Chains A and B, each alone.
Chain A
């Protein structure tokens, strides 16, 4: 997600100009700079895929960031930083010594990644950061940055709120610390560790220079990630797969047959093939307790550290894939218990996958017609305002995918654009169409499409679309004959990528 990077970067730049104007007070006394800082510089070059020209990558980008050195020779950064990377390099803060690094584990949803230097001794002499999971509202955290000399630049801020928020990849919600802090711009201000008593409390998620509010990925999420990373196969954060609505409205509570004390949330949707459905949860049920914590009308439970916070925290931060979590529900006024075996929902398990990094997009070029599978990554090609600027019909399909396509096991194949060529004369205005059939066969993935194209009918390939013009035909022989010319003309390295 390079675009989001740019924003964060831009904001920090603005912050710098503001911050430079006034003199910062001396370092907060609570922060003690250790001699060997548990910080390294991380230099990343990468290339994102070009979803408008899916056979190629975009121009390379480079980012400079900081990484927090953890035990066992690992360096913690955000997933944002290393998504679509080609080369990652670590740099010692004081000596400037460098080494290449590998991405060991990456979780795009929780926005965390672990790096390991190729040179095993590279981090020697650095005392790794321990993690402190007990930050509460009112605590002061220090943001650790590096001066060009390698000296520590520490800025202190106050934790104002701890709540569930959407992370950059909008899949579910995660625990977030909000910190009021006047950050300064430094060259490596990408992944900035937040520290309490010399222990890692969080990692910069986003910063708004105008309100001087910083959102941080909190230690409980980091700990969860690290624990999961120890396991053989990284499974990601779990989810239950249901949507809910508060039950503040007494009419709704009565309608749902709730008899007990006011509390719980109304289940509005249960995703097919997801843990909640497998456990038997139904639309209209009222969930009154999760993992033995009572839930109020707004969906909050009382957390020993944070007080009232949304119950989804119990399913993400506290539980792991494979855990069995008891849900206490009321159905038609009768209390019941369901045991939900949590699972991680992979990006591939969506109809329109919510994100795609480090893997090239699938596509199929047929005589100048470009076919792709609908995904949010494709829609995000329209920029930060993609929800308004991308083709609205496709945004609608993405947003309401589970409602519109009850057959969960499919993709939406779109005819995304047309490259003018001899084969596509008269089709130049066509774009963003949903493909329903090719040569009479139903299309539910690019694989289906590729197979169907192999079976022309009387020498023609017939493509049917849901939108006007409804049908497009190509001459199969002409398509094959013109293919080399098309590739040469538009610089298409390969006419399809299906794996």
Chain B
């Protein structure tokens, strides 16, 4: 039941601020951003720019971190789901990053997401260096970028990674909070080590470490260090009604996992079992299932058909052990002396890896092996980045597949739409509607003036043929019948379009609403870098 649980937290964590410093969206992209105080003025002769020596105080436990730290400025274009043919509004944000081995810079995914132009700066160097994204892992909010300028990494010191810092031990966070140009250091202690929702994707839960160091927008992507080693990457905070000033960092197990995943030049994402399960703490239920009174096992509730456990696990199975680690009835396992949710075992694996379960089915023990991958239906429930929204515009009617970004940009109150989103996985709605195609908007034209009542409807059929995906809808519209009769889910009249009239209106609508392209069927990546986004 982990995913569902995650969902509850989305609403709760809405106030969670990603820590990248966002400047005001530039209304006109041509307008230069106001340089922050102290920025170099164009009139200053180049030779007058003297790198200000940073006085190095003698005892510095973490070494000269400023020789590893970079300041990242990202000009990003956020997809416009209401006018998906547009490039989207530009935004500039500042975050931190740090040099690691292999001439790479590590930072948060949200620091570089939707990037159109990326520059890095380093302490004591007046230049801005264009940078390129190498890998983005949106599910764990990490990214690797590189700087093509030949000498950039010459005087930089790559940082090494440490382990999980002990509770109550002191850590220092480095970054450029509130947009400042000079490095900032804050210290604090390790407060808690636990699973947290990563708000960048808003569906993934991984290990995260809460620290008491001051962390503010602009700290994102900066290293958190202890004894000269990186023990985490600052990434998100929480401020709300129940708690304030809570800061989190991504710990090294998550970082190491990413580095290992991309070692083959491709990021595969976190795999998932694609099941929900319930704790088995009720004595009567344990007795009914024929289990011993040994506090072991969790009950499988749902097996996602599109996931790796389909046809291997069944609802009603009891998971007794994972890769030999006994699963307690509260769903925890013991790993290296620490109790953790048994999913942590899966977390540490990669696509194509196997996981072995000792299970209890029909009062008999069994062993099953599951080859892991990422079940796709979950993906629509999280945020996506660096992709062009998919859509079909026909006769001024805008059809878009339902996903979290769409929902957040339209904020529909329609009960059916919200139900289809919320229960997309649990009720296995994706089997009938891999794409839940919504008539999101109507660009008014004489041919669609009577159709406003259909807005918000979900497409079921076109001319008697069930429509499962946006591609099928596009192909249906490519046919040449006299009329298109579009049935929406639920009661309601069919939506009827006269094809000849639509064809005659096409250019008119395109011109009037400045529609650059009438459809986008591929969720192709925005950047040309091939590895940037991996598709399953």
* Alpha-carbon distance A470/B316, docked complex (angstroms): 8
- Shortest CB-to-CB span from B60 to chain A, Å, is 49
Is the C-beta of B74 less than 8 angstroms from some C-beta in chain A? no
Q: Could you say which interface size class chain B belongs to? A: 35 or more
Give the shortest distance, in Å, between A463 (CB) and chain B (any CB). 10
Residues 467-497 of B contacting A (Cβ, < 8 Å) = 483, 485, 490-494, 496-497
Tell me if A425 counts as interface (CB < 8 A to partner B): yes
Taking a contact as CB atoms under 8 Å apart, the answer to whether B285 and A473 are in contact is yes
**Known A460-B288, A473-B282: A392·B415 in contact at CB below 8 Å:** yes
Task: Verify B316–A471 contact, CB threshold 8 A.
Answer: yes
A424-B282, A468-B302 known; A245 vs B492 contact (CB < 8 Å): yes
Contact flags A454-481 to B (C-beta < 8 A → 1, else 0): 0000001010000111111111001000
Contact B284 A468 (CB under 8 A): no
Task: Mark each residue of chain B from 267 to 292: 1 if its CB lies under 8 Å from any CB of chain A, else 0.
Answer: 00000000010111111110111000
Within 8 A of A (CB), among B407-438: 415-416, 418-419, 422-423, 426
A460 near B284: Cβ-Cβ < 8 Å? yes
CA distance A263 to B491 in the complex (A): 21
Given A460-B288, A468-B426, A473-B284, A252–B315 Cβ distance below 8 Å?
no
Q: How far is the CB of A427 from chain B (nearest CB, A)?
A: 6
Q: Which residue of A lies closest to B485 (CB)?
A: A255
User: Once the chains bind, are B283 and A425 in contact (CB under 8 Å)?
Assistant: yes
* Contact (A254, B496) CB under 8 Å given A400-B490, A460-B288, A470-B315: yes
The distance in angstroms between the C-alpha atoms of A460 and B286, with both chains bound, is 11
A393, CB-defined interface residue at 8 Å: yes
**When the two chains form their complex, are residues A469 and B278 in contact, meaning their CB atoms are under 8 A apart?**
yes
**Closest residue of B by beta carbon distance from A430:** B278
- Whether a CB of chain B sits under 8 angstroms from the CB of A230 is no
Chain B residue numbers with a CB within 8 Å of A475 are 283-284, 287
Does B184 touch A at the CB level, under 8 Å? no
By a CB distance below 8 angstroms, the chain B residues around A254 are 496
Contact of A467 among B282, B426, B453 (CB under 8 A): B426
Contact of A425 among B4, B281, B497 (CB under 8 A): B281
* Known pairs A395-B415, A468-B301; A426 contacts B285 (CB<8 A): yes
Q: With a CB–CB cut-off of 8 A, which chain A residues contact B288? A: 460, 462, 473
Task: Decide if B490 touches A403 in the complex (CB within 8 Å).
Answer: yes
For the complex formed, measure the closest distance between the CB of B146 and the CB atoms of chain A, giving whole angstroms.
44
Nearest-neighbour CB distance to chain A for B407, whole angstroms, equals 14
Residues of chain B whose beta carbon lies under 8 Å from any beta carbon of chain A: 1, 4, 276, 278-285, 287-289, 299, 301-302, 315-316, 329, 415-416, 418-419, 422-423, 426, 450-451, 453, 483, 485, 490-494, 496-498
> Pick the contact of B494 from A255, A269, A403, A471 — CB < 8 Å?
A255
Interface: A124 (CB within 8 A): no
Asked if A166 is at the interface of the complex by the 8 Å CB criterion, the answer is no
Nearest 10 A-B pairs (CB), nearest first?
A426-B281, A249-B450, A469-B278, A426-B282, A475-B284, A251-B496, A473-B288, A468-B301, A269-B491, A255-B496
A490 at the interface (CB under 8 A from B): no
Contact for A392 among B278, B281, B316, B419, CB less than 8 A: B419
Using A249-B496, A468-B426, A470-B301 as known contacts, say yes or no to A400 and B279 having CB atoms under 8 A apart.
Answer: no
What is the CA–CA distance of A387 and B419 in the complex, to the nearest angstrom? 13
Q: Is the CB of B283 within 8 A of A468?
A: no
Range class of the A interface residue count:
35 or more
- Known contacts A426-B281, A473-B288, A468 near B4 by CB under 8 Å: yes
Main secondary structure of the interface of B (DSSP, over half): mixed
Chain B positions within 8 Å of A387 at CB level: 415
CA distance in complex: A471, B314 (Å) = 13
Which residues of B are found within 8 Å of A471, using beta-carbon distances? 299, 301, 315-316
Question: Is A441 an interface position by the 8 A CB rule?
Answer: no
Nearest CB of chain A from residue B298's CB, rounded to whole Å: 10
Q: Report chain A residues within 8 Å CB of B498.
A: 251
Smallest beta-carbon distance A250→chain B, Å:
8
Q: Contacts of B4 on A, CB cut-off 8 Å?
A: 468
Q: List 7 A-B contacts (CB under 8 A).
A: A245-B453, A400-B490, A423-B284, A426-B280, A426-B282, A472-B285, A473-B282
Chain B residues with CB under 8 Å of A423's CB are 284
CB distance from B458 to the nearest CB of A (A): 12
Minimum CB distance partner of B418 in chain A: A392
- B289 contacts which chain A residues (CB < 8 A)? 473
B490 nearest CB across to chain A (Å): 6
When distances are taken between beta carbons in the complex, the residues of chain A under 8 Å from B497 are 251
Q: Which residues of A contact B299 (CB under 8 A)?
A: 469, 471
Q: Are B491 and A266 neighbours in the complex by a CB distance under 8 Å? A: no
Residues of A within 8 A of B450 (CB): 248-252
**How far, in whole Å, are A473 and B102 apart by their CA atoms in the complex?**
57
Contact indicator B419/A396 (Cβ below 8 Å): yes
Bound-state Cα–Cα, A121 to B278, Å: 68
**Residues of A387-422 whose CB lies within 8 A of B:** 387, 392-393, 395-396, 399-400, 403
Q: Which B residues are CB-close (under 8 A) to A269?
A: 491
* Other-chain contact of B491, A255, A268, A425, A474 (Cβ < 8 Å): A268
